[in-house]
Amino acid sequence: MSKKLGKVFVEAVTSLFKKPATSGYPFEKREIHKSYNGKIAFEQPKCIGCQICVKNCPAKALIVAKVQDKVFEMTISLAKCIFCGQCVVSCPKKALSTTSDFELAQSDKNKLTVKL
């Protein structure tokens, strides 16, 4: 090994004049990929109420309830959801999809249970 002093000197000094790699998050937002596993989106007309998503959900975050004949309502607990996307894969009618919405924090616990 050949030893040198201040190996990162050049990089450090040039960094002074570069745009910072970080950004002021809540004010400046980064673009999120469309394929991001964020909050689940639900298309009500497609749902047939088969409950496969509920059964396959590893976190037991989903509830599908029958509102009236052939109309189903879905409730998700964002606190429980682990954003694995298993429900999207499981759905036989493709009624579920992922969105890139990831800013889901709430100061009120009750608001974490959302009707989709």
- Can you give the binding site for another protein, defined by CB under 8 A? 1-9, 11-13, 15-16, 18, 20-24, 33, 35-37, 56, 58-59, 82-86, 89, 98, 107-110
Task: Say whether 109 sits in a helix, a strand or coil.
Answer: helix
d(CA 48, CA 44): 9
Question: Taking the complex as a whole, how short is the minimal distance between the CB of residue 109 and another protein, in angstroms?
Answer: 5
Number of neighbours of residue 42 by Cβ within 10 angstroms: 23
Question: Taking the complex as a whole, how short is the minimal distance between the CB of residue 46 and another protein, in angstroms?
Answer: 21
Contacts of 63 (CB under 8 A, 6+ apart): 54, 74, 75, 76
Cβ closest to another protein, residue 58 vs residue 92: 58
Cβ closest to another protein, residue 12 vs residue 41: 12
